[in-house]
Amino acid sequence: MLGCFAGFTGGLFGLGGGLILVPALTFIFTYLGESKDIAPHLAIGTSLAVITISSLSSAYGHVRYGHVLWRVVLALTPGLVVGALIGAVVADQLPGSALKILFGLFAVAMAIYMWFGHPQPMVCRTLSRKAGLMTGAVIGGLSSMIGIGGGSIVIPFLVWCGYQIQQAVAVSAMTGFPIAVSGTLGFILMGSDAMITLNDTWGYVHWPAFIAIATSAAAMAPLGAYTAHRCSGDKLKIFFSLFLILLGIFMIVQ
């Protein structure tokens, strides 16, 4: 059930599903007996592993509708890879409580920006290679630290640059994969010596959860992508903002 919901919302909003998976898995792992300090790290690592699969399925759905801006994807990708690896190293040094609060505050901040942000410019701002590298590194680092595919940063950034929300969602779906792969590798390496209570883990990745969620999320992501391209841009912005606010508040008070 969690995988189906994460896959649909991932395809709908151009996310990898991490904004759903991290709070839910943190709660589940804690309930199963994992320490409160390890559970958020395990949830983030597992979320990133799932995103490696769900992002590909979501991206395929958006490619079919022709909204992917490949020049923007290529400009962001190198920085995303490097930033995601660095983010995994930084996250390993932070306590679980700090990661949960960081995740919640970030989600609420992005929602407020999407709701009250600057009007969309009439002409798209050009994204140079240097700007793409720097922006990608920041997005990749933050995304890896909190276990998301980067959509909640990529989408507001591209809307600010002047792109249509549907184009931003499509680019976000494509860039989720390099973030997830780099972040997953980082969390596997950083968690290799962690005192994890649960069995069947590889570093900070819980493989039974990964398999169950990834298969169902991949099946539902194309339906979310289809729904996104049937919605108007204004409605998609509103839904996306409300979605982020609810998740952010949940993670802060959990």
* Phi, psi dihedral angles at 201 (to 5 degrees): -115, 155
3-state secondary structure of 13: helix
CB neighbours of residue 202 within 10 Å: 16
DSSP class per residue in 163-208: --HHHHHHHHHHHHHHHHHHHHHHHHHHTTTS---SSSEETTEEHH
Residue 126, Cβ density class (10 Å: 0-12 exposed, 13-18 middle, ≥19 buried): exposed
pLDDT for the residue numbered 15: 62
The 8-class DSSP code of residue 88 comes to H
pLDDT for the residue numbered 205: 93
Enter the pTM of the model: 0.75
| Structure tokens given for 132 | 């793409």
* Phi, psi dihedral angles at 17 (to 5 degrees): 100, -5
Q: Are 200 and 206 in contact (CB under 8 A)?
A: yes
Q: Are 227 and 9 in contact (CB under 8 A)?
A: no
Torsion sign over Cα 95, 37, 104, 18? positive
Residue 37, Cβ density class (10 Å: 0-12 exposed, 13-18 middle, ≥19 buried): middle
pLDDT for the residue numbered 28: 92
pLDDT for the residue numbered 123: 54
pLDDT for the residue numbered 120: 54
How far apart (Å, rounded) are the C-alpha atoms in residues 5 and 209?
14
CA distances from 202 to 34, 73, 194 (A): 15, 30, 10
Domain residue ranges in the chain: 2-253
Alpha helices in 2-69, H assignment, sequence order:
2-13, 18-31, 39-63
- What are the 10-residue block averages of pLDDT along the chain, 254 residues in total? 83 68 88 88 90 77 75 88 86 77 78 65 65 85 77 78 79 83 88 83 91 87 76 70 78 72
How far apart (Å, rounded) are the C-alpha atoms in residues 243 and 206?
26
pLDDT for the residue numbered 210: 93
pLDDT for the residue numbered 142: 82
pLDDT for the residue numbered 117: 59
DSSP class per residue in 111-154: HHHHHH-PPPPSSPPP--HHHHHHHHHHHHHHHHHHT--SHHHH
pLDDT for the residue numbered 233: 62
